[in-house]
């Protein structure tokens, strides 16, 4: 038996798109409470709640204006406390998003800092312009634009690695870290059992020299996983987290394996696990924006590297920043159901804590928007504007957005075939995919052959199998379309065999089929399109 956060699976909720309870078109906390039974029925024991803190929503809550208040769109502090206790009654623990690299520019700290208040002036990263008035260095940001914004009131530039409404905190100022510790205590005392730590490897900026040439995030070598950043994480652990039964999962931007090994080293005590991105970018260049051909062989190589390189992984295929996996590594048309189940087989047979993103369990697909006006995401809007400036043709620009936009994952959850998809009785804040009449929770909940039922079966299988939870990972075979790997423990081997293509493929690993997405129980020598099998063998 491992720790509770190794035994359980996590369900990520992006609150504004999960369930609306009051008809204003925005999901809310009472809505989440009304769906706890569905999450329990799925088999997830932990919820990761994307930000619900007070926020002007320039980046949908990742720009926090008060860490101790709830965004009124989502409800009240009483609703939040109610959620923690209602979840607890059902054996579900809650972790929150911890966004401490930056705050909103509407946070009190920033307002005071900008005004030069002596207690707050060094809470953020302020620099004088160069003699010619230009920004302090040549860095570029994560949202495809400037990282320095000139503030007239203060007469200086402030740093923002993300949107200009997300100024970076200054971790050279010890008071900032003390504030963060208090915030952690505040939520842990309320019964929160851990944190997903937003861009947690970017906190400390060691130098402000110009960055090396790079297409995006020029300058990152001066602030990614710096020595002091490691120390900060250890300090948070020692002074706060160690006093509670909780865990952390870091979201670590552009992280490499060596860096990750340090961040997750048990003795060092920085993070319990982390999210990396390599496995979602095997068919992409420059983060996820330029396509290249998919290869199962490449995917297995990447997965193998991380599965074997770290003692424990955070395993995921979707989140609120990524396109839907069935539209990405699967087929959201003819083989929608098969491929959604095949990807579930992959997710739950890897070693680590599995994370399911809302809607993934019913095979939700990328959006079906047809124009920029339908999008909300700040990153997508910036990229579109940049591409326009670079004179990239309109059709190509749109293609970029369509395949990679974060809004693909942010359309409301499709609960039923009713108007508003059972998400809202009002006008949804972001368009609902028109396939909701076909793809929805109600249509799947009692159908034993549905994607949802398959997720439940896979979660139950993982829960009952020590080999799937703790067995060693061993790559077995891969080509462009097919992969096979084994999980081995105490003389038992469970082999996952997956077809990532629309073609029939020859492949055979002898043994007993314990689950398959075709319902096949007898072995044969080929795989149907997107077929998945888990095969049991004694070693
Ligand atoms: O994302 C961090 C991050 O690295 C993103 O810029 C990511 O690279 C991008 O979304 C992929 O295009 C986190 C949150 O998950 C994201 O929603 C926030 O916008 C961001 O931090 C800023 O807080």
- Kindly list the domain boundaries of the chain, sorted by start residue: 7-96+312-367+409-464, 104-168, 174-311, 369-404, 470-538
**Ligand 1 neighbour 99 (Cβ under 6 A):** yes
Q: Let me know the angle formed at the C-alpha of 404 by 401 and 406, rounded to the nearest 5 degrees.
A: 95
**Ligand 1 neighbour 18 (Cβ under 6 A):** no
The Cβ of residue 143 has, within 10 Å, a number of other Cβ atoms equal to 23
Two domains, one topology: 174-311 and 470-538: no
Would residue 538 be called left, alpha or beta, if left means φ above 0 and alpha means ψ between -120 and 50 degrees? beta
Distance CA 219, CA 330 (A): 35
Among the four given CATH numbers 3.30.830.10, 3.40.91.10, 3.30.70.260, 3.90.400.10, the one describing domain 104-168: 3.90.400.10
Task: State yes or no: is 198 an active-site residue.
Answer: yes
Q: Which atom of ligand 1 is nearest to the CA of 277?
A: 8
Nearest alpha carbon, ligand 1 atom 6: 142
Pairing relationship of beta strands 492-499 and 532-538 according to DSSP bridges? antiparallel
Please, what sign has the CA dihedral across residues 401, 58, 435, 329?
Answer: positive
What pLDDT score was predicted for residue 291?
86
What pLDDT score was predicted for residue 172?
98
Per-residue tokens: 448: 């034993």
The Cβ of residue 174 has, within 10 Å, a number of other Cβ atoms equal to 9
Assess if CATH 3.20.20.80 describes domain 7-96+312-367+409-464. Answer: yes
Q: Which atom of ligand 1 is nearest to the CA of 63?
A: 23
pLDDT tens string, the chain, 539 residues long: the values are 799 999 999 999 999 999 999 999 999 999 999 999 999 999 999 999 999 999 999 999 999 999 999 999 999 999 999 999 999 999 999 999 999 999 999 999 999 999 999 999 999 999 999 999 999 999 999 998 899 999 999 999 999 999 999 999 999 999 999 999 999 999 999 999 999 999 999 999 999 999 999 988 999 999 999 999 999 999 999 999 999 999 999 999 999 999 999 999 999 999 999 999 999 999 988 767 788 999 999 999 999 999 999 999 999 999 999 999 999 999 999 999 999 999 999 999 999 999 999 999 999 999 999 999 999 999 999 999 999 999 999 999 999 999 999 999 999 999 999 999 999 999 999 999 999 999 999 999 999 999 999 999 999 999 999 999 999 999 999 999 999 999 999 999 999 999 999 999 999 899 999 999 999 999 999 999 999 999 999 98
| Rounded distance from Cα 13 to ligand 1 centre (Å) | 16
174-311, what's its fold?
TIM Barrel (3.20.20)
Active-site residue identified among 251, 361, 481, 531: 251
Assess if CATH 2.60.40.1180 describes domain 470-538. Answer: yes
- Containing H/E element for 38? helix 36-42
Nearest one of 79, 83, 59 to 70, comparing CA atoms: 79
For residue 499, what are the β-bridge partners? 482
- Going by the DSSP 8-state scheme, the letter that residue 169 receives in this structure is B
Distance CA 351, CA 468 (A): 7
Please, what sign has the CA dihedral across residues 49, 97, 272, 223?
Answer: positive
Task: State yes or no: is 479 an active-site residue.
Answer: no
What pLDDT score was predicted for residue 287?
65
| Rounded distance from Cα 400 to ligand 1 centre (Å) | 17
- Going by the DSSP 8-state scheme, the letter that residue 414 receives in this structure is -
Nearest alpha carbon, ligand 1 atom 12: 321
């Amino acid at each position: 038996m491992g720790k509770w956060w190794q035994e359980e699976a996590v369900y990520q909720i992006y609150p504004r798109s999960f369930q609306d309870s009051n008809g204003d078109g925005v999901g809310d906390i009472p809505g989440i409470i009304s769906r706890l039974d569905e999450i329990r029925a799925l088999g997830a024991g932990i919820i990761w709640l994307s930000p619900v803190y007070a926020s002007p929503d320039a980046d949908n809550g990742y720009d926090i204006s008060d860490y101790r208040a709830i965004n009124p769109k989502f409800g009240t502090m009483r609703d939040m406390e109610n959620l923690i206790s209602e979840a607890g009654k059902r054996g579900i623990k809650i972790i929150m998003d911890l966004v401490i690299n930056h705050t909103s520019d509407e946070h009190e700290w920033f307002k005071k800092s900008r005004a030069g208040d002596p207690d707050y002036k060094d809470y953020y990263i302020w620099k004088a312009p160069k003699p010619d008035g230009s920004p302090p260095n040549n860095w570029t940001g994560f949202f495809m634009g400037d990282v320095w914004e000139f503030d007239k009131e203060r007469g200086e530039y402030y740093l923002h690695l993300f949107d200009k409404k997300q100024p970076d905190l200054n971790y050279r100022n010890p008071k900032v870290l003390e504030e963060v510790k208090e915030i952690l205590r505040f939520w842990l005392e309320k019964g929160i059992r851990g944190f997903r730590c937003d861009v947690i490897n970017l906190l400390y900026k060691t130098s402000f020299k110009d960055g090396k040439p790079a297409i995006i995030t020029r300058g990152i070598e001066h602030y990614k996983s710096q020595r002091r950043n490691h120390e900060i994480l250890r300090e948070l652990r020692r002074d706060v987290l160690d006093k509670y039964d909780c865990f952390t999962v870091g979201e670590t931007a552009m992280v490499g394996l060596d860096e990750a090994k340090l961040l997750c080293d048990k003795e060092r005590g920085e993070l319990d696990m982390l999210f990396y991105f390599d496995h979602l970018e095997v068919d992409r260049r420059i983060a996820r924006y330029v396509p290249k051909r998919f290869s199962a062989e490449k995917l297995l190589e990447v997965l193998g590297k991380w599965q074997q390189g770290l003692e424990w992984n955070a395993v995921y295929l979707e989140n609120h920043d990524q396109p839907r996996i069935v539209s990405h590594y699967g087929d959201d048309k003819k083989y929608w159901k098969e491929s959604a189940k095949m990807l579930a087989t992959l997710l739950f047979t890897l070693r680590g804590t599995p994370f399911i993103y809302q809607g993934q369990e019913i095979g939700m697909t990328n959006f079906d928007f047809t124009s920029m006006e339908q999008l909300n995401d700040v990153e997508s809007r910036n990229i579109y504007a940049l591409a326009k400036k670079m004179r990239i043709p309109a059709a190509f620009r749109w293609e970029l957005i369509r395949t990679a936009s974060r809004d693909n994952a942010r359309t409301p959850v499709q609960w039923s075939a009713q108007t508003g998809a059972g998400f809202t009785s009002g006008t949804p804040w972001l368009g609902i995919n028109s396939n909701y009449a076909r793809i929805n929770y109600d249509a799947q909940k009692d159908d034993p052959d549905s994607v949802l039922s398959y997720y439940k079966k896979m979660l139950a299988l993982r829960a009952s199998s020590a080999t799937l939870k703790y067995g060693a990972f061993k790559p077995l075979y891969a080509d462009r379309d097919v992969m096979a790997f084994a999980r081995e423990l105490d003389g038992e081997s469970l082999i996952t065999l997956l077809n990532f293509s629309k073609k029939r493929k020859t492949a055979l690993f002898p043994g007993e089929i314990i689950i398959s997405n075709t319902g096949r129980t007898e072995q044969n020598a080929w795989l149907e399109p997107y077929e998945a099998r888990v095969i049991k063998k004694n070693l």
